[in-house]
Chains A and B, each alone.
Chain A
Amino acid sequence: MITIKNLHASIDGKEILKGLNLEVPAGQVHAIMGPNGAGKSTLASVLAGREDYEVTEGSVDFDGADLLELSTEDRAREGMFLAFQYPVEIPGVSNVNFLRTALNEIREYRGQEAISAKDFMAMVREKSAIVELDPKLASRAVNEGFSGGEKKRNEIFQMAMLEPKLAILDETDSGLDIDALRIVANGVNKLRSEKNATIVITHYQRLLDYIIPDVVHVLYDGRIVKSGPKELALELEEKGYDWIKAEQEAK
């Protein structure tokens, strides 16, 4: 689904990603873990096309397309979805209006007709049930006055609505209570298929009890320095990142 080769990216002249390689095939879930400031959110932002970042080297193939050549909105329309670590509030714009606009723009890009109001509302009902999102939240302004957990849940609701090929979840588990965590994870699992892929960025192996990853990667100092099966997450939780640091320094 996505193949990242030797990706270098910087912001305000400071290099954050320093030759990152990563491949996530369709049908798989990959987890990315790593210490604070390692560059996890940066990777997500660069892939999503945030303009503040400058890509200085490397290539990204997204399901056959040259991702770095695409505009931010076209990446989304091609099926890239980012669940934000800090979802943004848009006062006065209802969630449903926001999503219908997004959905129709994506459909137009793909040469599909705009969705009817009736079909759209049916879809809202179906998808909000997947993440057990209070239907009232769907008609409220985008994230405005939502609790931290509600915002995260709303991200997964949006993901369900937009049905992306690749979803990147940036610390979607942080700030969720145990029940919400289970619900969000269930939502993600229900949306998993052979045709899409998911990158889960997290600090806690607990999430990975619910969303079982095919591979766990460690992102350290702008690079993927270690990859392994889901047990790697347990090991990191037990031992922390010092041994990774030591290993890297030894190199």
Chain B
Amino acid sequence: MGYTENELAKDLENQEYKFGFVTNIESDKAPKGLNEGIIRFISAKKEEPEWLLDFRLKAFALWKEMTEPEWAHVHYEKPDFQDITYYSAPKQTKKYESWDDVDPEMKETMAKLGISMEEQQRLTGVAVDFVMDSVSVATSFKSKLAELGIIFCSFSEAVKEHPELVRKYMGSVVPMTDNFYAALNSAVFTDGSFCYIPSGVRCPMELSTYFRINEGGTGQFERTLVVADQGAYVSYLEGCTAPQRDENQLHAAVVELIALDDAEIKYSTVQNWYPGDKEGKGGIYNFVTKRGLCERNAKIAWTQVETGSAVTWKYPSCVLKGDNSIGEFYSVAVTNNYQQADTGTKMIHLGKNTKSTIISKGISAGKSQNSYRGLVQIHKSADNARNFSQCDSLLMTDECGAHTFPYIECKNSSAKIEHEATTSKIGEDQIFYCLQRGISEEKAISLIVNGYCKEVLNQLPMEFAVEAQKLLAISLEGSVG
């Protein structure tokens, strides 16, 4: 049976951004601006080894030579990189031995996010590595994971405890030269998550990290590295909310996934950053580089539900390097009011018999612009590669826009590529039908939209799917026109 939509009603009562609050934890932060000194400050603060400082400085040197990209369908005021604080940490830096030690205010924050950790631990078996601003503050289930040899910790901790793994894989999928924001991230990243699943191990629980941007004017530069060794399996969840804010906040994360031979990684994201108010003021700029590398017979599936951010630019991609490897991309991107999203995926087929599937569902409301940009690249070496893409757009008003840009580059004639695309407007007939059965308009929209996104939502773990449905409902409130 479907999910219960009753809880939704309560959330729907609240018109304003639900997670718009600021936690008041004094910060230990760097002065605004970006220069070599700041990078050395970050590195020193984090007690990093020499090689990592060198990595940062090299990236910074590269970044200075790069220019910010321009995109046809995205318009925004360029961030002032000298007006950003690149490091801030909750003052209380000591690690928590147990859940009881966690700052009550922090717990409250998590409760507001609807992810009470006790609940999560007890009910869902989710191990949460909670990242507030730039420093990880709570980790759980570590010992259980450790028994299996699974490493799941903050990026900083991984640098200290497992430098050989970090050094081996960091930057191997998203090189610092990749793009403007990846270079910036490589220079100034402060923390993030690291996950390693040893050969042949199936991670018994969903690994989850909640990101949160908490400090006014603090850009957040996360780095995530997930490595599934041969034959390993992991399902990783990433979710975010951010406090309401007046000036735009920049977020430029890098996520790298590595699936070695026969390994499988599922990476799911529910993204709900502050999108700006009804006039389009405020909101998060989200420029993320996410990419996964598949070795032989490996599989990577990206699933994302994007409802937040003022501007989103994001293309989770798969490099299908090994023969018989599989890449999947399932996405729901909602834009409302003045939000702009330019998302999609890249599937790079290098190995033989590689397969990719793309299911993209765009929903535009208000005056928003929603673009799908997908690249399917079949290299000469990729005999019998197959791709199936389906890109659907749903329009909630007459003022919003949906754009689809599928790019196909095929250098091997044995490839089979299928592409389907549809655009539809939410039906007044459908809404009337629901109303006539006693269903309120808000709930009707939620039902219809969730039905439309079903193929994607079905890919998410159950509890995440429920959360995603709530976000869809909240972000589309009163949006039919």
Contact = CB atoms under 8 A, between A and B. Distances in A.
A104 B437 contact: no
A96 interface: yes
B439, B441, B453, most chain A CB atoms within 10 A: B439
A81 B438 CA distance: 9
A31 B453 CA distance: 41
Contacts of B443: 101, 105
B452 interface: yes
A185 to B, nearest CB: 22
A92 B435 contact: no
A214 B435 CA distance: 30
Contacts of A93: 2, 447-448, 450-451
B5 interface: yes
B433 interface: yes
A196 B303 CA distance: 49
B438 A105 contact: yes
B143 interface: no
A169 interface: no
Contacts of A71: 435
Contact of B450 (A76, A82, A92, A114): A92
Contact of A88 (B5, B6, B433): B433
Given A72-B432, A98-B447, A104-B6, A92 B454 contact: yes
Nearest to B448: A90
A109 B447 contact: no
Nearest to B429: A88
B49 interface: no
A48 B438 contact: no
B440 interface: yes
B437 A98 contact: yes
Given A90-B448, A117-B1, A105 B439 contact: yes
What bracket does the count of chain B residues touching chain A fall in? 20 to 34
A97 interface: yes
A218 to B, nearest CB: 26
Contact of A102 (B3, B430, B439, B448): B439
Given A101-B5, A117-B1, A90 B433 contact: yes
Interface string B405-445: 00000000000000000000001011011111111110100
Contacts of B436: 48-49, 72-73, 75-76, 81-82, 84
By size class, the interface of chain A is 35 or more
Interface in A86-144: 87-94, 96-106, 109, 114, 117, 141
A8 interface: no
A96 B443 CA distance: 15
A99 B439 CA distance: 9
Contacts of A84: 433, 436
Q: Is the interface of A mostly helix, strand, loop or mixed?
A: helix
Contacts of A73: 435-436, 438-441
A76 B454 CA distance: 27
Contact of A76 (B429, B437, B447): B437
A219 interface: no
A71 B439 CA distance: 11
A90 B451 contact: yes
A216 interface: no
A24 interface: no
Contact of A94 (B2, B429, B441, B452): B2
A72 B455 CA distance: 31
Given A88-B427, A90-B447, A98-B447, A49 B435 contact: yes
B437 A162 contact: yes
A226 interface: no
Contact of A92 (B6, B432, B453): B453
B396 to A, nearest CB: 16
Contacts of B2: 93-94, 96-97, 100
Interface in B1-28: 1-3, 5-6
Contact of A158 (B6, B432, B437, B451): B437
B435 A97 contact: no
A140 to B, nearest CB: 12
A94 B5 CA distance: 13
Contact of B451 (A49, A72, A114, A141): A141
24 contacts: A48-B432, A51-B432, A73-B441, A75-B436, A76-B436, A82-B436, A88-B429, A88-B430, A88-B433, A89-B430, A90-B430, A90-B451, A92-B450, A92-B451, A92-B454, A92-B455, A93-B450, A97-B2, A98-B437, A99-B437, A102-B439, A105-B438, A114-B6, A158-B437
For the complex of A and B, 7 pairs with smallest distance between CB atoms: A92-B451, A97-B2, A93-B451, A92-B454, A76-B438, A102-B437, A72-B435
Given A73-B441, A97-B3, A97-B5, 9 more contacts: A48-B436, A72-B435, A76-B437, A88-B429, A90-B434, A91-B452, A97-B2, A100-B2, A114-B6
